[in-house]
Amino acid sequence: LLIYTDLDGTLLDHDSYDTSATASLRQQLKQLGVPVVWNTSKTAAELESLRLSLEHTDPYIVENGAALYFPDESTQQPKMTFGPGHDHIMTCLEGVRRQFRFKGFHDMSVAEVAAATGLDEGDAALAKQRQFSEPLTWQDSPGKMSDFLAAMADCGLHVLRGGRFVHILGEFNKATPMAWLNDYYATQWDATVDTVALGDSQNDIAMLQAADRAYLIRSPAHVTPQINGQANIRIAKGYGPEGWAEAMAAEVDALMT
């Protein structure tokens, strides 16, 4: 069994970023030797302290599928990257600055990112250290979004929606690194891998679709994305980390029987 999990609004509470509801299940999965791969829109810089505080020793995927890291490797270089760098994204956004109204993390001070996210200023500064994607707040009319998508596509970029922000990134998503990592574990284990994914937002849907089984986690803050006719995806009852723990308890039970 191999788990892929979103962080914000899934493993971490949408507002408080608290994850205590998941502690006992994370411990059980660790004891069972089940890797829990983090698959998040957070930056590598943000994950440094979170990995220490949650004793996370499995691989992790940052910025919505942009890069895969193995924490046990001596360098903090990604194992693989899947898209263009942040400079390319900023150049493209600068090119359309006069056509559309938006405000990105790059445009915001640390205090503004802290206010928009509820992170403390230390973590907000780490969230601003983007390597492969730019989160922004859309301040223009919804009707102009399709022209914006077309302009981003002209730069080889696309747009995904997270819990709070719209994310600009290359032609990859959270499912992109999964194929490689599934193969990696299949080779390690000399067995086919059974995959489970958990996430709460539109930027998680590709990951949920790519897994053998998936749990869509409900959010107190935004509507649950549509999952039309996706038989492998079920909706967890509890919100945020409580839904995560409930889903993982079911997986642990199934593994034991």
Nearest to 9 by CA among 154, 192, 220: 220
| Radius of gyration (C-alpha) of the chain in whole angstroms | 18
Can you tell me the distance from the alpha carbon of 79 to that of 56, in angstroms, rounded to the nearest whole number? 17
Closer Cβ to Mg ion, 223 or 255, answer by number: 223
Residue 8 in the binding site for Mg ion (CB under 5 A): yes
Which is nearer to ligand 2M8, 81 or 117 (by Cβ)?
A: 117
Cβ-contact 199, 208 below 8 angstroms:
yes
65 interacts with Mg ion by CB under 5 A: no
Told to check if 83 binds Mg ion by CB under 5 A, we report no
Tell which one of 4, 9, 167, 173 touches Mg ion (CB under 5 A). Answer: 9
Q: How far is CA 3 from CA 6, 79, 84, 158, 209, in A?
A: 10, 19, 27, 26, 14
The residue nearest ligand 2M8 at its CB is 162
Residue with token string 């230390």: 122
Pattern 182-201, binding to Mg ion, x per CB under 5 A?
------------------xx
Q: Are 244 and 21 a contacting pair, CB within 8 Å? A: yes
- Which of ligand 2M8, Mg ion, none sits in contact with 84, Cβ below 5 to 8 A by type? none
Applying CB under 5 A, among 5, 22, 40, 117 the residue interacting with Mg ion is 40
- Is residue 6 flagged as an active site residue? yes
Judged by beta carbon distances under 5 to 8 A according to partner kind, the member of ligand 2M8, Mg ion, none in contact with residue 158 is: none
Find the shortest distance in angstroms from Cβ 100 to ligand 2M8.
Answer: 18
Q: Residue length, the chain?
A: 257
**Measured in whole angstroms, how far is the alpha carbon of residue 21 from the centre of its chain?**
19
Catalytic site residues? 6
* Residues near Mg ion, by CB under 5 A: 6, 8-9, 40-41, 163, 200-201
